[in-house]
Amino acid sequence: MPKTKIQSLSLALLVFLCLQAQVQSSFDLHSLRSNMTNLQATTWGDIEFKQDSYGVYVEADLIYNPSFSSNRSDFTNLLTNMTEAAGTAKMMLSLVNSESMVATDCSYFSYYDCSEYSDCKEYDTKNSFDFPWFSANTKIAQGEIYLDYIYWVLSPADLYIAYSCINDGTVIGSERYGVIGLGTGGNPGSDFYEKLFSIYIASDLSKGKLLFKNAAATYAKSTEAVYTLYANSTWQVPTNSGHIKVRDSAIDFHGNIMFDINTDVALGIPYFTYIYVLSYLNEVSGLNCDGTNYYRPICTYNGKIKDLPDVIINFNKNLLKVPSDLYASVISEGSSFYLNFKATHPSLTGKSFVTDSFSNSLILGTRFMSYYFPVFDATSGFNMIYLYPSGSLPPEPNNWWIFAVIAGAILIIMVVVGCYIKKKRDLSAENNNTISVAADNNTTNVVYNTVYQAPLIENQQRNDPDAYNAQQSQGIQGIYPTFNNNYQNN
């Protein structure tokens, strides 16, 4: 086998073996992660939102996994000593609370028994506060929650245990152990590794992620924020004066603006403001929205959705645009759609219920966050919210090996094709050398034959001079015509 072919095959085999090792490594890591049935907290700052019939939740560990080092910067144990841990729980998230809560008796929340956790200590100090969806009467405890072993740890720190709650009677808290507060103040030990996170929501609301970094470069269409908002420590944007505008009509608004992943509409609008906004929309020619339904009312329209006016939220010198492709979900083209708004008030029930503390708040829900990618950043000492135009959800990190295999296959094909082309070139060069040698040999033979056969030519000239002259005049080329002349001249 030619040396070049052996080298090419060796290179291809080496590439293939390296690729296999890389893919096997990714398989092993993926298998390791997927087998963590009771250990859901990560150390890579990438938290998947999950959903069930009760809404969105995250999974967190309620006890410390002993295989992890107490040093949060130590990643070694993640891959070498990872073991399963009990105590993983489904938790709600609140951006507008710094307090994190579990429950002994609160609506439909699962029972949390402090005595079952070795690091939990319960005190008699009582406190009360509001989440957007219920009010909680609590006792203070020292406890643990691990949303991520590097980026968000409550250990040991103030953990509030709710012993009674007040809400509208809905099934808030079903199959949940409590609420993790992502606010940045008021709860010592609610420890962000860095006070920075992003929220990605897919356009169809089917999936999303909490990412402890500014992920705009990956999840947004542009790395330039279209809006910059100044917030307080619970990520609420105070509005000293503002209004909500539809075409030339506007209603004043003086509440806070907040974000909530448990609100599955674009906007949650305080009831009395909502009534005006709905009436302004109904002034649009051909548009009629149901005024009796306070949650995603059905509207009919005899035009094109894209021609509907924007809803503009004017506050603090910002003009926050809510376009029709965000607030309208088409039921049937050209006839009806769901209006992705809801009215909110403490006297309303179901998804329209809010506690008193949030009765004047304008809520930006998951549909809004699927359109504008939000980044929450307090690393400068000030709580800033940046809104980017949302992009597409990239491939899952656990599936990156598929792309490695494809890239490796392309590389192998390129190597094989390169070897084939090189082989063809070498063969062509070898053939050219053979032809050159043959030509040299033929030249020698021609000269030899010319000299050797000269008497035959002379005999032909003597015996049949007419045929000889005819051949010469027609330029007949044999193996020695040129040299015949030379011979004759000689």
Q: Please tell me the predicted confidence (pLDDT) of residue 65.
A: 63
pLDDT band at 379 (very low <50, low <70, confident <90, very high): very high
Q: Please tell me the predicted confidence (pLDDT) of residue 465.
A: 58
What average pLDDT does the segment 307-327 reach? 95
**What digits encode the pLDDT tens for the residues 187-222?**
554 578 899 999 999 999 999 999 999 999 999 999
Per-chain mean pLDDT for the chain: 78
Q: How many whole angstroms from its chain centre is CA 328?
A: 24
In three state form, how does the secondary structure of 278-328 look? HHHHHCCCCEEECCCCCECCEEEECCCHHHCCCEEEEECCEEEEECHHHHE
Q: Which two tokens stand for residue 126?
A: 């009582």
Q: Please tell me the predicted confidence (pLDDT) of residue 480.
A: 35
What average pLDDT does the segment 65-79 reach? 48
Q: Please tell me the predicted confidence (pLDDT) of residue 176.
A: 95
Q: Please tell me the predicted confidence (pLDDT) of residue 412.
A: 79
What average pLDDT does the segment 76-81 reach? 42
Question: What DSSP line would sit under 374-399, residue for residue?
Answer: EEEE-TTSSEEEEEEEB-PPPPPGGG
Q: Please tell me the predicted confidence (pLDDT) of residue 397.
A: 46
What average pLDDT does the segment 34-49 reach? 62
**What digits encode the pLDDT tens for the residues 272-297?**
999 999 999 999 999 999 999 999 99
Query: Is pLDDT at 240 greater than 70 in this prediction?
Result: yes
Query: Is pLDDT at 257 greater than 80 in this prediction?
Result: yes
What average pLDDT does the segment 22-46 reach? 43
The better pLDDT of the pair 406, 233 is held by 233
pLDDT band at 17 (very low <50, low <70, confident <90, very high): very low
Beta strand 372-377 with 298-301 is: unpaired
Beta strand 318-322 with 328-332 is: unpaired
CA-wise closest residue to 209 among 383, 396, 399, 55: 396
Whether 36-193 shares its CATH topology with 222-389 is answered yes
In angstroms, the CA 482 to CA 475 distance is 10
Q: Please tell me the predicted confidence (pLDDT) of residue 271.
A: 97
The better pLDDT of the pair 66, 325 is held by 325
Question: Cβ-count burial of 228 within 10 angstroms (0-12 exposed, 13-18 middle, 19+ buried)?
Answer: exposed
pLDDT band at 396 (very low <50, low <70, confident <90, very high): very low
Please, what sign has the CA dihedral across residues 458, 461, 467, 471? positive
Query: Is pLDDT at 66 greater than 60 in this prediction?
Result: no
**What digits encode the pLDDT tens for the residues 452-467?**
344 444 445 555 656 5
Q: Is 444 left (phi over 0), alpha (psi -120 to 50) or beta?
A: alpha
Per CATH, the architecture of 36-193 is what? Beta Barrel (2.40)
β-sheet bridge partners, residue 299? 289, 337
Q: Please tell me the predicted confidence (pLDDT) of residue 482.
A: 39
3-state helix, strand, coil in the chain (%, to 5): 35, 30, 35
Q: Please tell me the predicted confidence (pLDDT) of residue 410.
A: 76
- Can you tell me which residue has the tokens 């009806």? 336
- Axis-axis angle for helices 400-452, 454-463 (nearest 10): 60
In three state form, how does the secondary structure of 147-199 look? EECCCEEEEEEEEEEEEEEECCCCCCCCCCCEEEECCCCCCCCEEECCCEEEE
Q: Please tell me the predicted confidence (pLDDT) of residue 169.
A: 78
The better pLDDT of the pair 16, 181 is held by 181
The better pLDDT of the pair 447, 149 is held by 149
User: In the chain, what are the domain boundaries?
Assistant: 1-35+396-452, 36-193, 222-389
The better pLDDT of the pair 105, 333 is held by 105
Q: Please tell me the predicted confidence (pLDDT) of residue 34.
A: 31
What average pLDDT does the segment 397-420 reach? 65
What average pLDDT does the segment 41-55 reach? 86
Q: Please tell me the predicted confidence (pLDDT) of residue 334.
A: 59
Q: Please tell me the predicted confidence (pLDDT) of residue 13.
A: 47
The better pLDDT of the pair 475, 376 is held by 376
Q: Please tell me the predicted confidence (pLDDT) of residue 469.
A: 57
pLDDT band at 64 (very low <50, low <70, confident <90, very high): confident
Record: fold of 222-389: Cathepsin D, subunit A; domain 1 (2.40.70)
Q: Please tell me the predicted confidence (pLDDT) of residue 284.
A: 96
Query: Is pLDDT at 419 greater than 60 in this prediction?
Result: yes
